[in-house]
Chain A
């Protein structure tokens, strides 16, 4: 499911298997993800993967990584195909199946289920 931090704070212990903390390279986004990680840990909601989005360079990576230094980490690069898909109101996977974001999503899917085994 896709939700904001407010929804997260209402979830009981063990209610999820995995939380993907999507974070773009801004201090505000990193701060929200850091606070969300704190809520998740305090309430023992689920395991966490820090997903760095719209990454352009090492500075972006380091900023996002610093939000939750010990979390599992996955990267989505900045991708013009995503911008084009959002402009056109279509799925980026349909618009440009070979784009970097699509490749990153395939790796994320493998990571998510690899972490928890088949099922």
Chain B
């Protein structure tokens, strides 16, 4: 199931996304959380911690600057641009995917 949270900047999308992802993870569902923000902070709302979230933000900056290559697949995106948060939620910084998996 694919869920998107949309709204005006500062309306609380990140906080609610973090809460929802953790709740779904706790219920036993496999959860992948994608942070599409140019300044990704979803890691904090997920409970990943400031340091790890800053590391992922650095990756996004490198991608935007062309200093790093985008991942060719979802699996590689999760491995190179992701981290595992509490309740098994896998967080990834959204990037371009050349070979998107169906669904």
Contact = CB atoms under 8 A, between A and B. Distances in A.
A61 interface: no
Given A23-B11, A28-B8, A17 B19 contact: no
Contacts of A116: 1
Contacts of A54: 12
A21 B86 contact: no
B82 interface: no
A8 B4 CA distance: 9
Interface residues on B, range: 35 or more
B47 A93 contact: yes
A108 B21 CA distance: 11
Contact of A20 (B5, B14, B37, B50): B5
Contacts of B27: 109
Interface residues on A, range: 35 or more
Contacts, number: 157
Per DSSP, are chain B's interface residues mostly helix, strand or loop, or mixed?
mixed
A48 to B, nearest CB: 9
B16 interface: yes
Contact of A46 (B4, B16, B29): B4
A13 interface: no
A109 B20 contact: yes
A90 B4 CA distance: 22
Contact of B37 (A2, A24, A106): A2
B6 A91 contact: no
Nearest to B48: A91
Contacts of A85: 15
Interface stretch (B38-46, B56-64, B65-73): B38-46
Nearest to B53: A89
B1 to A, nearest CB: 5
12 contacts: A2-B14, A5-B7, A7-B6, A17-B3, A24-B7, A24-B10, A24-B11, A32-B11, A36-B6, A76-B16, A85-B15, A91-B22
